[in-house]
Amino acid sequence: MKIGLVCPYDWGVPGGVQHHVRDLACHVTRRGHQVSVIAPADDEASLPAYLTPAGRSVAVPYNGSVARLSLGPRSATRVRRWLREGNFDVLHIHEPIAPSLSLLACWVATGPIVATFHACADRSWGMAAAYPLLRPALQKIRARIAVSEDARRTLAEHGGGDAVIIPNGVDVSFFASAESNPVWHSSAGTLGFIGRLDEPRKGFATLLKAFTLLAARRPGVRLLVAGRGDIPRVSAQLPAPLRQHVTFLGQVSDADKARLLRTVDLYVAPNLGGESFGIILIEAMSAGVPVLASDLDSFRRVLEDGQAGELVPVGDATALANAAERLLDDPGHRQALRTAGAAVVRRYDWSTVATEILGVYQRVTDGAAQVAETDIVRGTTPVSPLAGHEPSSSYPPDL
């Protein structure tokens, strides 16, 4: 099967959607399928062979964050060319309403289209008002996937319709087999955090407050922090005696992320909201580290109502510090959380997720073939799936 994947966000900037598309491309290719990906990316960057760059991205406030998207005539031209040359059996568009390549591809393409919805957002009148303009493009989608119940709810509330839930995938064995780094560990306990430091909804400010309280009661405790942001500015905000206990690693490779998770005694997710899934929780549990997380709906579902991880009130630094201290003092409970987490992550392993997604591809292509056969019987001219990818006569009025 020839599969085209569309990623709306800059390939060079770490993010959940980018990682999902990358891993999906790799796992589907291993099963013998031909895969091509298009994403915003600098032509001069080091890119995998399967990726077609659609040009540089621009920073745009989107869904409570700042996303790097690709817009404009150049991007539209590259999308058209990629679709025409790819002649895909199925086109899989991620975040089809994102004002970037995904929406462009949805407008231009014909044939079997699958869309995955990743985002979680509260009811937005702006998004609701935009849907009538987007509807002609979205009506082309033959199968909808949501990565979580929260993403499915967002889709239903903003645009109507429903979706099958297929979660984000994780290479469980990759995290489970990683080596720890003893240099990063402390006998008093080591906490871990991975996320963008300059994005308030990730809750890093709450974590620092909690860690300040914890360190006052537990000398020697350590915090490992990985993620992009202004590290000198953040470090300067810490009390001087605390700085030696917080290690900022910056943006890390996948291998170093796995090593961090294998090293820490407790992974902390102090997020404040806007999370549709929580892939980092699955990665942490895959690495065998107990999870302490904010009591968000999406996190609660992943952690099975607190059975596979500890939950604390959102934004409550004192509760976070108390729970962390309690867990660090209770190795038996941490082991119980590890055991529960190991059972949970099997559902999210790419061996399962890729099979489910390929099943969706097969259903939409089979459906297209049946339509073509009906057209032949009726004497009409059949159209092969995505053949030619001729542009739609209409074009998004806001692009």
Q: Are residues 207 and 355 in the same domain?
A: no
Q: Are residues 20 and 112 in the same domain?
A: yes
Q: Are residues 56 and 78 in the same domain?
A: yes
251-263: pLDDT as tens digits = 999 999 999 999 9
398 assigned to some structural domain = no
Q: Are residues 188 and 289 in the same domain?
A: yes
215 assigned to some structural domain = yes
pLDDT at 393: 33
Q: How many domains does the chain have?
A: 2
pLDDT at 282: 97
pLDDT at 384: 35
Q: Are residues 307 and 177 in the same domain?
A: yes
Enclosing domain of residue 366:
2-169+350-378
Q: Are residues 298 and 363 in the same domain?
A: no
pLDDT at 132: 65
Distance from C-alpha of 122 to C-alpha of 355, rounded to nearest angstrom: 31
pLDDT at 395: 32
15 assigned to some structural domain = yes
Q: Are residues 190 and 211 in the same domain?
A: yes
pLDDT at 387: 34
384 assigned to some structural domain = no
pLDDT at 389: 35
Q: Are residues 152 and 232 in the same domain?
A: no
391 assigned to some structural domain = no
Distance from C-alpha of 303 to C-alpha of 71, rounded to nearest angstrom: 37
User: Where residue 127 sits, what CATH number does that domain have?
Assistant: 3.40.50.2000
pLDDT at 139: 86
Q: Are residues 38 and 145 in the same domain?
A: yes
Q: Are residues 104 and 21 in the same domain?
A: yes
138 assigned to some structural domain = yes
397 assigned to some structural domain = no
Instruction: Give the rounded percent of residues in the chain with a pLDDT score beyond 90.
Output: 64
The ranges of the chain with pLDDT < 70 are: 43-45, 62-65, 121-133, 159-160, 368-399
383 assigned to some structural domain = no
Q: Are residues 139 and 26 in the same domain?
A: yes
Q: Are residues 165 and 209 in the same domain?
A: no
